[in-house]
Protein backbone atom coordinates (compact mmCIF):
# COMPACT_ATOMS: atom_id res chain seq x y z
CA UNK A 1 0.00 0.00 0.00
CA UNK A 2 3.00 2.28 0.52
CA UNK A 3 3.44 2.30 -3.24
CA UNK A 4 0.46 4.57 -3.87
CA UNK A 5 1.56 7.44 -1.60
CA UNK A 6 4.97 7.34 -3.31
CA UNK A 7 3.35 7.52 -6.73
CA UNK A 8 1.13 10.36 -5.57
CA UNK A 9 4.20 12.17 -4.30
CA UNK A 10 5.97 11.90 -7.66
CA UNK A 11 2.85 13.02 -9.45
CA UNK A 12 2.57 16.05 -7.21
CA UNK A 13 6.21 16.89 -7.89
CA UNK A 14 5.67 16.63 -11.65
CA UNK A 15 2.59 18.83 -11.45
CA UNK A 16 4.53 21.34 -9.43
CA UNK A 17 7.35 21.37 -11.97
CA UNK A 18 4.92 21.88 -14.84
CA UNK A 19 3.17 24.67 -12.97
CA UNK A 20 6.50 26.34 -12.21
CA UNK A 21 7.55 26.13 -15.87
CA UNK A 22 4.23 27.60 -16.96
CA UNK A 23 4.58 30.46 -14.47
CA UNK A 24 8.15 31.08 -15.62
CA UNK A 25 7.04 31.11 -19.28
CA UNK A 26 4.15 33.49 -18.54
CA UNK A 27 6.40 35.83 -16.57
CA UNK A 28 9.01 35.76 -19.36
CA UNK A 29 6.34 36.61 -21.94
CA UNK A 30 4.79 39.39 -19.86
CA UNK A 31 8.14 41.09 -19.30
CA UNK A 32 9.00 41.20 -23.03
CA UNK A 33 5.71 40.92 -24.87
CA UNK A 34 5.40 44.64 -25.58
CA UNK A 35 8.60 44.59 -27.64
CA UNK A 36 7.47 41.45 -29.47
CA UNK A 37 4.10 42.95 -30.37
CA UNK A 38 5.65 46.22 -31.51
CA UNK A 39 8.14 44.39 -33.74
CA UNK A 40 5.39 42.17 -35.13
CA UNK A 41 3.26 45.20 -35.99
CA UNK A 42 6.14 46.91 -37.82
CA UNK A 43 7.10 43.74 -39.68
CA UNK A 44 3.50 43.02 -40.71
CA UNK A 45 2.99 46.53 -42.09
CA UNK A 46 6.27 46.45 -44.03
CA UNK A 47 5.51 42.99 -45.44
CA UNK A 48 2.16 44.26 -46.71
CA UNK A 49 3.79 47.31 -48.30
CA UNK A 50 2.20 49.76 -45.89
CA UNK A 51 5.33 51.82 -45.32
CA UNK A 52 3.25 54.96 -44.98
CA UNK A 53 1.83 53.59 -41.74
CA UNK A 54 5.30 52.94 -40.29
CA UNK A 55 6.59 55.98 -38.41
CA UNK A 56 10.17 57.20 -38.61
CA UNK A 57 10.61 56.26 -34.96
CA UNK A 58 9.54 52.68 -35.69
CA UNK A 59 11.93 52.42 -38.65
CA UNK A 60 14.81 53.66 -36.49
CA UNK A 61 13.82 51.26 -33.74
CA UNK A 62 13.48 48.23 -36.05
CA UNK A 63 17.11 47.00 -35.76
CA UNK A 64 17.03 47.45 -31.96
CA UNK A 65 13.76 45.57 -31.64
CA UNK A 66 15.11 42.81 -33.89
CA UNK A 67 18.15 42.31 -31.68
CA UNK A 68 15.97 42.42 -28.53
CA UNK A 69 13.62 39.74 -29.83
CA UNK A 70 16.55 37.65 -31.09
CA UNK A 71 17.98 37.81 -27.56
CA UNK A 72 14.62 36.71 -26.17
CA UNK A 73 14.66 33.75 -28.54
CA UNK A 74 18.12 32.78 -27.35
CA UNK A 75 17.01 32.88 -23.70
CA UNK A 76 13.85 30.95 -24.50
CA UNK A 77 15.88 28.18 -26.11
CA UNK A 78 18.31 27.92 -23.20
CA UNK A 79 15.58 27.83 -20.56
CA UNK A 80 13.40 25.39 -22.51
CA UNK A 81 10.26 27.52 -22.53
CA UNK A 82 7.04 26.22 -24.01
CA UNK A 83 6.94 25.22 -27.68
CA UNK A 84 4.34 27.86 -28.57
CA UNK A 85 6.56 30.71 -27.35
CA UNK A 86 9.59 29.28 -29.14
CA UNK A 87 7.69 28.86 -32.41
CA UNK A 88 6.31 32.40 -32.23
CA UNK A 89 9.71 33.94 -31.55
CA UNK A 90 11.48 31.90 -34.25
CA UNK A 91 8.94 32.98 -36.85
CA UNK A 92 9.08 36.64 -35.79
CA UNK A 93 12.90 36.76 -35.78
CA UNK A 94 13.06 35.14 -39.21
CA UNK A 95 10.58 37.63 -40.70
CA UNK A 96 12.37 40.59 -39.13
CA UNK A 97 15.78 39.36 -40.34
CA UNK A 98 14.69 39.61 -43.99
CA UNK A 99 13.61 43.20 -43.42
CA UNK A 100 16.76 44.23 -41.53
CA UNK A 101 19.45 42.28 -43.39
CA UNK A 102 17.73 40.74 -46.41
CA UNK A 103 17.96 41.89 -50.06
CA UNK A 104 16.43 45.28 -50.79
CA UNK A 105 15.33 44.49 -54.32
CA UNK A 106 13.38 41.77 -56.05
CA UNK A 107 14.88 39.43 -58.61
CA UNK A 108 13.05 41.27 -61.38
CA UNK A 109 14.47 44.61 -60.19
CA UNK A 110 17.97 43.16 -60.10
CA UNK A 111 17.66 41.73 -63.61
CA UNK A 112 16.31 45.01 -64.95
CA UNK A 113 19.22 46.92 -63.38
CA UNK A 114 21.75 44.31 -64.51
CA UNK A 115 20.72 44.28 -68.16
CA UNK A 116 19.74 47.96 -68.10
CA UNK A 117 23.33 49.17 -67.96
CA UNK A 118 25.14 47.72 -64.93
CA UNK A 119 26.70 44.84 -66.86
CA UNK A 120 27.79 46.95 -69.83
CA UNK A 121 29.29 49.62 -67.54
CA UNK A 122 31.20 46.95 -65.61
CA UNK A 123 32.68 45.61 -68.84
CA UNK A 124 33.67 49.07 -70.08
CA UNK A 125 35.33 49.76 -66.72
CA UNK A 126 37.98 47.12 -67.44
CA UNK A 127 38.64 48.21 -71.03
CA UNK A 128 42.48 48.34 -70.66
CA UNK A 129 42.51 44.67 -69.65
CA UNK A 130 40.11 43.84 -72.48
CA UNK A 131 42.58 45.28 -74.98
CA UNK A 132 45.37 43.19 -73.49
CA UNK A 133 43.13 40.12 -73.56
CA UNK A 134 42.27 40.73 -77.21
CA UNK A 135 45.94 41.15 -78.11
CA UNK A 136 46.80 37.88 -76.37
CA UNK A 137 44.03 36.01 -78.16
CA UNK A 138 45.17 37.31 -81.53
CA UNK A 139 48.75 36.40 -80.64
CA UNK A 140 47.69 32.91 -79.54
CA UNK A 141 45.85 32.32 -82.82
CA UNK A 142 48.91 33.47 -84.76
CA UNK A 143 51.23 31.27 -82.70
CA UNK A 144 49.05 28.21 -83.22
CA UNK A 145 48.94 28.83 -86.96
CA UNK A 146 52.69 29.43 -87.32
CA UNK A 147 53.67 26.43 -85.23
CA UNK A 148 51.57 24.20 -87.46
CA UNK A 149 53.14 25.80 -90.53
CA UNK A 150 56.58 24.93 -89.18
CA UNK A 151 55.62 21.41 -88.11
CA UNK A 152 52.16 19.87 -88.71
CA UNK A 153 52.66 17.63 -85.68
CA UNK A 154 51.97 20.66 -83.53
CA UNK A 155 48.33 20.30 -84.59
CA UNK A 156 47.98 17.24 -82.36
CA UNK A 157 49.33 19.21 -79.42
CA UNK A 158 46.38 21.59 -79.70
CA UNK A 159 43.60 19.25 -80.93
CA UNK A 160 43.33 15.78 -79.39
CA UNK A 161 43.47 13.11 -82.13
CA UNK A 162 40.49 11.16 -80.77
CA UNK A 163 38.31 14.28 -80.97
CA UNK A 164 39.69 15.60 -84.24
CA UNK A 165 38.53 12.47 -86.05
CA UNK A 166 39.03 12.99 -89.78
CA UNK A 167 39.96 16.65 -89.28
CA UNK A 168 43.71 16.04 -89.29
CA UNK A 169 46.68 17.22 -91.37
CA UNK A 170 46.74 15.45 -94.71
CA UNK A 171 42.96 15.09 -94.97
CA UNK A 172 41.53 16.01 -98.36
CA UNK A 173 39.43 19.10 -98.91
CA UNK A 174 36.38 16.92 -99.56
CA UNK A 175 36.77 15.09 -96.26
CA UNK A 176 37.15 18.35 -94.37
CA UNK A 177 34.17 19.86 -96.18
CA UNK A 178 32.01 16.86 -95.30
CA UNK A 179 32.85 17.50 -91.66
CA UNK A 180 31.26 20.95 -91.93
CA UNK A 181 28.14 20.26 -93.96
CA UNK A 182 25.46 17.63 -94.22
CA UNK A 183 26.12 16.25 -90.73
CA UNK A 184 23.08 17.55 -88.91
CA UNK A 185 21.80 14.05 -88.24
CA UNK A 186 25.10 12.53 -87.12
CA UNK A 187 26.71 12.55 -83.70
CA UNK A 188 30.36 13.03 -84.64
CA UNK A 189 30.11 16.73 -85.34
CA UNK A 190 28.02 17.30 -82.23
CA UNK A 191 30.60 15.55 -80.07
CA UNK A 192 33.39 17.69 -81.50
CA UNK A 193 31.32 20.85 -81.15
CA UNK A 194 30.40 19.98 -77.56
CA UNK A 195 34.07 19.40 -76.78
CA UNK A 196 34.94 22.83 -78.16
CA UNK A 197 32.24 24.49 -76.07
CA UNK A 198 33.15 22.68 -72.84
CA UNK A 199 36.82 23.43 -73.44
CA UNK A 200 36.25 27.12 -74.08
CA UNK A 201 33.78 27.50 -71.20
CA UNK A 202 36.33 25.96 -68.83
CA UNK A 203 38.99 28.31 -70.15
CA UNK A 204 36.73 31.33 -69.55
CA UNK A 205 36.08 30.41 -65.93
CA UNK A 206 39.72 29.54 -65.27
CA UNK A 207 40.97 32.76 -66.85
CA UNK A 208 39.00 34.66 -64.25
CA UNK A 209 39.64 32.36 -61.29
CA UNK A 210 43.41 32.24 -61.85
CA UNK A 211 43.65 36.01 -62.06
CA UNK A 212 44.43 35.92 -58.34
CA UNK A 213 47.86 34.52 -59.24
CA UNK A 214 48.79 38.06 -60.41
CA UNK A 215 47.15 37.34 -63.79
CA UNK A 216 50.01 35.20 -65.12
CA UNK A 217 47.97 31.98 -65.59
CA UNK A 218 45.25 34.03 -67.29
CA UNK A 219 47.79 35.27 -69.83
CA UNK A 220 48.96 31.75 -70.55
CA UNK A 221 45.45 30.32 -70.84
CA UNK A 222 44.36 32.97 -73.32
CA UNK A 223 47.32 32.20 -75.57
CA UNK A 224 46.98 28.42 -75.22
CA UNK A 225 43.26 28.38 -75.91
CA UNK A 226 43.42 30.48 -79.06
CA UNK A 227 46.39 28.45 -80.31
CA UNK A 228 43.85 25.67 -80.82
CA UNK A 229 41.79 28.06 -82.93
CA UNK A 230 44.87 28.95 -84.96
CA UNK A 231 45.58 25.25 -85.59
CA UNK A 232 42.03 24.67 -86.88
CA UNK A 233 42.19 27.70 -89.13
CA UNK A 234 45.56 26.54 -90.50
CA UNK A 235 44.15 23.10 -91.28
CA UNK A 236 41.16 24.40 -93.24
CA UNK A 237 43.18 27.15 -94.90
CA UNK A 238 45.43 24.49 -96.38
CA UNK A 239 42.37 22.91 -97.97
CA UNK A 240 41.04 26.24 -99.28
CA UNK A 241 38.09 26.21 -96.87
CA UNK A 242 38.68 29.49 -95.04
CA UNK A 243 35.20 30.78 -95.82
CA UNK A 244 33.49 27.59 -94.75
CA UNK A 245 35.35 27.16 -91.44
CA UNK A 246 34.74 30.83 -90.63
CA UNK A 247 31.00 30.28 -90.99
CA UNK A 248 31.09 27.04 -88.98
CA UNK A 249 32.91 28.77 -86.12
CA UNK A 250 31.07 32.09 -86.31
CA UNK A 251 27.63 30.81 -85.26
CA UNK A 252 28.64 30.34 -81.64
CA UNK A 253 32.25 31.54 -81.72
CA UNK A 254 31.52 35.26 -81.78
CA UNK A 255 29.66 34.85 -78.48
CA UNK A 256 31.90 32.21 -76.94
CA UNK A 257 35.20 33.89 -77.81
CA UNK A 258 33.82 37.23 -76.67
CA UNK A 259 32.98 35.61 -73.33
CA UNK A 260 36.54 34.28 -73.07
CA UNK A 261 37.92 37.72 -73.92
CA UNK A 262 35.84 39.35 -71.16
CA UNK A 263 36.66 36.64 -68.62
CA UNK A 264 40.35 37.01 -69.45
CA UNK A 265 40.07 40.76 -69.01
CA UNK A 266 38.40 40.26 -65.63
CA UNK A 267 41.16 37.91 -64.51
CA UNK A 268 43.84 40.33 -65.71
CA UNK A 269 42.09 43.15 -63.86
CA UNK A 270 42.37 41.22 -60.59
CA UNK A 271 46.01 40.37 -61.34
CA UNK A 272 46.86 44.00 -62.13
CA UNK A 273 45.13 45.19 -58.95
CA UNK A 274 47.23 42.76 -56.91
CA UNK A 275 50.47 43.61 -58.68
CA UNK A 276 49.86 47.36 -58.28
CA UNK A 277 47.66 47.69 -55.17
CA UNK A 278 48.48 51.33 -54.56
CA UNK A 279 47.65 52.34 -50.98
CA UNK A 280 45.77 49.10 -50.30
CA UNK A 281 47.13 45.81 -49.13
CA UNK A 282 47.33 43.04 -51.73
CA UNK A 283 44.38 41.18 -50.19
CA UNK A 284 42.26 44.33 -50.01
CA UNK A 285 43.11 45.20 -53.61
CA UNK A 286 42.20 41.67 -54.73
CA UNK A 287 38.91 41.81 -52.81
CA UNK A 288 37.99 45.18 -54.33
CA UNK A 289 38.83 43.98 -57.84
CA UNK A 290 36.87 40.79 -57.24
CA UNK A 291 33.80 42.80 -56.31
CA UNK A 292 34.16 44.97 -59.41
CA UNK A 293 34.44 41.96 -61.71
CA UNK A 294 31.68 39.88 -60.09
CA UNK A 295 29.08 41.58 -62.27
CA UNK A 296 31.27 41.04 -65.32
CA UNK A 297 31.50 37.29 -64.67
CA UNK A 298 27.79 36.96 -64.00
CA UNK A 299 27.28 38.23 -67.53
CA UNK A 300 29.99 35.92 -68.89
CA UNK A 301 28.05 32.94 -67.55
CA UNK A 302 24.96 34.16 -69.40
CA UNK A 303 27.02 34.57 -72.58
CA UNK A 304 28.26 30.99 -72.26
CA UNK A 305 24.68 29.77 -71.88
CA UNK A 306 23.76 31.73 -75.00
CA UNK A 307 26.74 30.20 -76.83
CA UNK A 308 25.60 26.73 -75.74
CA UNK A 309 22.17 27.34 -77.28
CA UNK A 310 23.75 28.55 -80.52
CA UNK A 311 26.09 25.56 -80.42
CA UNK A 312 23.42 22.97 -79.74
CA UNK A 313 20.80 24.16 -82.19
CA UNK A 314 21.69 26.78 -84.78
CA UNK A 315 25.07 25.50 -85.90
CA UNK A 316 23.81 21.94 -86.14
CA UNK A 317 20.61 22.88 -87.98
CA UNK A 318 21.91 25.63 -90.28
CA UNK A 319 23.82 24.09 -93.16
CA UNK A 320 24.77 27.08 -95.29
CA UNK A 321 27.83 29.25 -94.71
CA UNK A 322 26.07 32.52 -95.53
CA UNK A 323 23.39 32.00 -92.89
CA UNK A 324 25.98 30.86 -90.36
CA UNK A 325 28.01 34.02 -90.96
CA UNK A 326 24.87 36.14 -90.71
CA UNK A 327 24.01 34.62 -87.32
CA UNK A 328 27.56 34.98 -86.02
CA UNK A 329 27.91 38.51 -87.38
CA UNK A 330 24.55 39.48 -85.89
CA UNK A 331 25.58 38.22 -82.47
CA UNK A 332 28.93 40.05 -82.67
CA UNK A 333 27.16 43.27 -83.64
CA UNK A 334 24.73 42.84 -80.76
CA UNK A 335 27.47 42.35 -78.16
CA UNK A 336 29.54 45.27 -79.44
CA UNK A 337 26.51 47.55 -79.46
CA UNK A 338 25.44 46.49 -75.97
CA UNK A 339 28.84 46.82 -74.35
CA UNK A 340 30.19 49.92 -76.08
CA UNK A 341 27.22 51.87 -77.46
CA UNK A 342 24.55 51.22 -74.81
CA UNK A 343 25.14 54.00 -72.29
CA UNK A 344 21.98 54.07 -70.22
CA UNK A 345 22.53 55.40 -66.69
CA UNK A 346 19.95 54.48 -64.02
CA UNK A 347 18.18 57.33 -62.29
CA UNK A 348 20.02 58.57 -59.26
CA UNK A 349 23.47 57.46 -60.38
CA UNK A 350 26.24 59.48 -61.91
CA UNK A 351 26.73 59.38 -65.62
CA UNK A 352 29.94 58.03 -67.11
Q: Where are the domains of the chain?
A: 16-100, 109-340
Residue 185: pLDDT band by 50, 70, 90 thresholds?
Answer: low
Residue 21: pLDDT band by 50, 70, 90 thresholds?
Answer: low
Question: What's residue 11's pLDDT?
Answer: 53
CA Rg value for the chain:
32
Please determine, for residue 209, whether its predicted confidence score (pLDDT) is greater than 80: no
Please determine, for residue 138, whether its predicted confidence score (pLDDT) is greater than 80: yes
Query: Across residues 187-199, what is the average pLDDT?
Result: 59
Q: What is the DSSP string of 108-167?
A: HHHHHHIIIIIHHHHHHHTHHHHHHHHHHHHHHHHHHHHHHHH-TTHHHHHS-HHHHTT-
Question: What's residue 350's pLDDT?
Answer: 43
> What is the spatial distance between Cα 176 and Cα 223, in angstroms, rounded to a whole number?
25
> What is the spatial distance between Cα 341 and Cα 124, in angstroms, rounded to a whole number?
10
Classify each residue of 17-43 as buried b or exposed e, where b means 16 or more C-beta atoms within 10 Å of its C-beta.
eeeeeeeebeebbeebeebbebbbebb
Q: pLDDT, tens digit, for every residue of 267-315?
A: 888 888 888 887 878 777 777 787 788 889 889 988 988 888 887 777 6
Residue 349: pLDDT band by 50, 70, 90 thresholds?
Answer: very low
Phi and psi at residue 61, to the nearest 5°: -85, -15
Length of the chain, please? 352
Please determine, for residue 109, whether its predicted confidence score (pLDDT) is greater than 60: yes
> What is the spatial distance between Cα 146 and Cα 196, in angstroms, rounded to a whole number?
21
Contact 68, 21 (CB under 8 A): no
> What is the spatial distance between Cα 322 and Cα 250, in angstroms, rounded to a whole number?
11
Classify each residue of 307-335 as buried b or exposed e, where b means 16 or more C-beta atoms within 10 Å of its C-beta.
bbebbeebbbebeebeebbebbeebbeeb
Question: What's residue 348's pLDDT?
Answer: 42
Residue 86: pLDDT band by 50, 70, 90 thresholds?
Answer: confident
Amino acid sequence: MALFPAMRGKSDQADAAIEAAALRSDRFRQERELDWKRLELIVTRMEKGRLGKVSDADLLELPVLYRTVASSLSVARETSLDAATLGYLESLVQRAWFLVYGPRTTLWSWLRRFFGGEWSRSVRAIWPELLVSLALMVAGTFVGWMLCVQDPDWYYAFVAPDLAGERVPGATAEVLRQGLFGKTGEEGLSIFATYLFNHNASIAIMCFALGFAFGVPSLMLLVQNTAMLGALLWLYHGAGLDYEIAGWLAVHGTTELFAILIAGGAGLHIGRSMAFPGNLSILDAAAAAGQRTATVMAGVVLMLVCAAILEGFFRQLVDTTEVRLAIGGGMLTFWLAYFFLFRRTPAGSESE
